[in-house]
Structure 1
Amino acid sequence: MTITPDFVNDITMEQLEADPYPFYERLRKEAPVAFVPALGMHLVSTRELCEQIARDDENWPAVISAAGGRTFGPAALLNTNGEEHRELRDMVEPHLQPSAVDKYIDNLVRPFARERIAAFENDGHVDIVEAYCEPVSVRALGDLLGLDDVSTDKLREWFHKLSVSFTNAAVDENGEFANPEGFRPGDEAKAEIIAHVDPKIDKWITQPDHTAISHWLHDGMPEGQTRSRDVIYPNLYVFLLGAMQEPGHAMATTLAGLFSRPEQLERVIDDPELIPRAAAEGMRWVAPIWSAVVKRAARDVTVGGVDLPEGSIVMLTYGSANQDEHAYDAPSQYDLDRPVKPTMTFGAGKHACAGTYFANAVVRIGLEELFEAIPNLELDTDHEVDFWGWGFRGPKQLFVKWEV
């Protein structure tokens, strides 16, 4: 029998989005597997249980959250298992393999990163999220996909609208969406995406090129056939949200963490070889994809001392797993010198993030270029560092300054 602590019944989506950490700290201690009425599903909050379930595809096949299904559609990677999932991974992974990424990533990221820095480096202050981190992230992925003709601002707009929709997860006492209007921004973005991409798909069908979407259409298909748009679009939405969000917010989060440890920031600026380690700790400290992976019990199961019947839905909260006191010392602190341990930032098992290497490379290059151009970067303490989000989390704004 599942016993839900009283405090779980009172939690709201607004509280989770503003600051999920106190709630999840209590969950890890008192109810590591707990049904949360506001979400209509169980949350799994400890690192051990998140990793256990993430790796167990036989007993815990992947599904998509209700809000995610409403946003992406049924054919998304997040909602597939077995051979269907393998085929979709085979579709998206060729451009994301380390050997492939290493060939194109510098030319993809560095010129645009330098262009963005040149636009503000003489100003002495900027919101680095808006001016640099998000633009570098969305431009890199947009150009890789074949959306080089979509403006950076429009890519950011699509990403934010899809994020609002995907995280519109609150349900009422009947299990229905509490805010159906919350999906409107995502619907608007998807309509624009289809209107823009449909003519490009028409061209790629007969004139394939090197871009990722073109390869999605053709790779692994019988001669003369291409994949259906019903497959392409749900997975394009996944990429335009998750794969655009992760590098940009990981960059900003790493900066925020380093600003909390000025002596560590100085070391990283002096030695760029430390950037990958700094970024890995930033993404542990505040996981960009905080809560997005959902699994379904394939049979009656007991997990974390809780009996769950077949068909039970659980959400794996990787942001909480990365803050687990049993896995990390002083987990709420950013610490470049923390002993290297595995994290749940990019998930685990067959549904681990396909773009892990790509995302890390974008973050690394973005920070290399920023620190090289503005080595005296510091936090503008006239503004607070304002993190937001429960499904995806990162600084809404991060104001920085430097001497010109």
Structure 2
Amino acid sequence: MTTVQQPTTGPDLSWLDAVTMTQLERNPYPVYERLRREAPLAWVPVLGSYVASTAEVCREIATSPDFEAIITPAGGRTFGHPAIIGVNGDIHADLRGMVEPQLQPVEVDRWVDDLVRPIARRYLDRFEGRGHAELVAEYCEPVSVRSLGDLLGLADVPSDTLRRWFHQLSASFTNAAVDADGEFTNPEGFRPGDEAKAEIRATVDPLIDRWIAEPADTAISHWLHDGMPPGRTREREYVYPTIYVYLLGAMQEPGHGTASTLVGLFSRPEQLEEVVDDPTLLPRAIAEGMRWTSPIWSATARISTRDVTVAGVDLPAGTPVIQSYGSANHDTGHWDAPTEYDLHRPPLPHLAFGAGSHACAGIYYANQVMRIALEELLETIPNLERASGDGVEFWGWGFRGPTSLPCTWEV
């Protein structure tokens, strides 16, 4: 990512000099609320980048022909090249063409129920009769990682290992703090991701060897073969960065989206009761949960391809902008009382899955995983309650979700 110096004109944003990465990870909302009010496009020193914080500016940049995708420095350090979220042109077209066939709604509908529902039931069987569970670690994350792991072809990798990998990759990807020279302030913060990638390579390389010789009906096998001339496959080094993208973002999003939706429903008990009584409301409940706490909160970026002015800010060609979709989804210009979860708010399009040509390829798949997970949970345990009245802790700036969700029920 290009290093760009902080602008010297415009509103006084010196308060941003004191913003820390720890502050953003714990609770980014106050900083971004002020940014939306004072400077919808602003240079944030700790990130070494401009940040777009409103729905209007995020959508304008995401869909503008004057910008193209770029990966954040920490993301690039974590995934390598060519990761599907940070490339353009023919490479992006090839990678999207590689992953999208398995994610088309008509294709997902063919297998998603048979894939996800038995997994959800299996995890529910472990604690249904116990009367209590910590749902992030015991249900939401495991159902998410197991479903995607099986889809990718990693059926023999334990769910706990998949969860650990995505947490390690997340720690690396969000190790974003830089100094005034654009250098990472915590180089050791990439160690967890590096260790995870070494394990991933040791596990997946033998599978790739087998799938090259004997194609299988797994996503990674299709990525190697589909669209290639007879007798040829894509190089594994070309595919690995997108495998890492999936093992982080695609595993994290349904699990944390499910958990955030539950937390939102718990904040409105009458709405939780409505959903229990009428499961057809679940898609709407999930859409509001994704808006309320976007799992991919601020993890994608764009770079200007020419000199351009956005939100009154002159950006030279080559200027990176981080898209803060979690902030955009709390924009009071689009939603009334956006900090509140409300199943019945008008269903305006949110930005939790991004926008433009780099919008998430797995939108339909992720929504179906969340729907099935919540259907099974609320049908099996309709009297589900939070274990205490204390607030739920959320964590993360790049990726965000509840850290835990203890619940109880009568058995």
| TM-score over 0.5 for the pair | yes
Does residue 355 (structure 1) correspond to residue 382 (structure 2)? The answer is no
Match of 2:191? Answer: 184
Match of 1:338? Answer: 345
SS in 2 for 1:354: coil
Unpaired runs of 5+ residues, structure 2, are 1-6
Does residue 43 (structure 1) correspond to residue 51 (structure 2)? The answer is yes
Alpha-carbon distance in 1 for matches of 2:177, 2:229: 42
Does residue 124 (structure 1) correspond to residue 137 (structure 2)? The answer is no
**Structure 1 residue 135, shift from structure 2 partner:** 0.1
Q: How does 1:1-40 map to 2 (within 5 A)?
A: 2-3=9-10, 5-40=13-48
Give the AA of the match of 1:12.
T
Match of 2:150? Answer: 143
Q: Is the 1:293–1:316 Cα contact (8 Å) retained in structure 2?
A: yes
Alpha-carbon distance in 2 for matches of 1:359, 1:283: 11
Q: How does 1:2-401 map to 2 (within 5 A)?
A: 2-3=9-10, 5-56=13-64, 58-381=65-388, 383-401=390-408
Task: Work out the percentage of aligned pairs sharing the same amino acid.
Answer: 63
Alpha-carbon distance in 2 for matches of 1:120, 1:54: 43
Alpha-carbon distance in 1 for matches of 2:119, 2:322: 36
Q: CA RMSD in A?
A: 0.9
Alpha-carbon distance in 2 for matches of 1:329, 1:90: 38
Alpha-carbon distance in 1 for matches of 2:177, 2:57: 24
Give the AA of the match of 1:96.
L
**Structure 1 residue 275, shift from structure 2 partner:** 0.5
Alpha-carbon distance in 2 for matches of 1:383, 1:284: 23
After superposition, what is the alpha-carbon deviation per residue over 1:184-212, rounded to whole angstroms, capped at 9, x for unaligned? 00000000000010011000001001000
Alpha-carbon distance in 2 for matches of 1:115, 1:298: 49
Unpaired runs of 5+ residues, structure 1, are none
Number of paired residues?
403
SS in 2 for 1:368: helix
**Structure 1 residue 222, shift from structure 2 partner:** 1.1
**Structure 1 residue 310, shift from structure 2 partner:** 1.1
Alpha-carbon distance in 1 for matches of 2:286, 2:381: 18
After TM superposition, the structure 1 stretch with the greater mean CA deviation from structure 2, 300-309 or 179-188, is: 300-309
After TM superposition, the structure 1 stretch with the greater mean CA deviation from structure 2, 114-123 or 374-383, is: 374-383
Alpha-carbon distance in 1 for matches of 2:24, 2:134: 24
Match of 2:3? Answer: none
SS in 1 for 2:50: strand
Give the AA of the match of 2:335.
Y
**Structure 1 residue 384, shift from structure 2 partner:** 3.5
Alpha-carbon distance in 1 for matches of 2:359, 2:325: 11
After superposition, what is the alpha-carbon deviation per residue over 1:112-157, rounded to whole angstroms, capped at 9, x for unaligned? 1001001001111111000000000000000000000100000000
SS in 2 for 1:122: coil
After superposition, what is the alpha-carbon deviation per residue over 1:79-137, rounded to whole angstroms, capped at 9, x for unaligned? 21122111100001111110110011011101110010010011111110000000000
Alpha-carbon distance in 1 for matches of 2:17, 2:390: 34
Give the AA of the match of 2:62.
A
SS in 2 for 1:7: helix
After TM superposition, the structure 1 stretch with the greater mean CA deviation from structure 2, 102-111 or 1-10, is: 1-10
After superposition, what is the alpha-carbon deviation per residue over 1:328-363, rounded to whole angstroms, capped at 9, x for unaligned? 011010000000101101111110000000000000
SS in 2 for 1:295: strand
Q: Name the TM-score, length of structure 2 as normaliser.
A: 0.97
Alpha-carbon distance in 2 for matches of 1:60, 1:292: 16
Match of 2:4? Answer: none
SS in 2 for 1:93: helix
Alpha-carbon distance in 1 for matches of 2:275, 2:383: 12
Q: Name the TM-score, length of structure 1 as normaliser.
A: 0.99
Q: Is the 1:383–1:399 Cα contact (8 Å) retained in structure 2?
A: no
SS in 2 for 1:289: coil
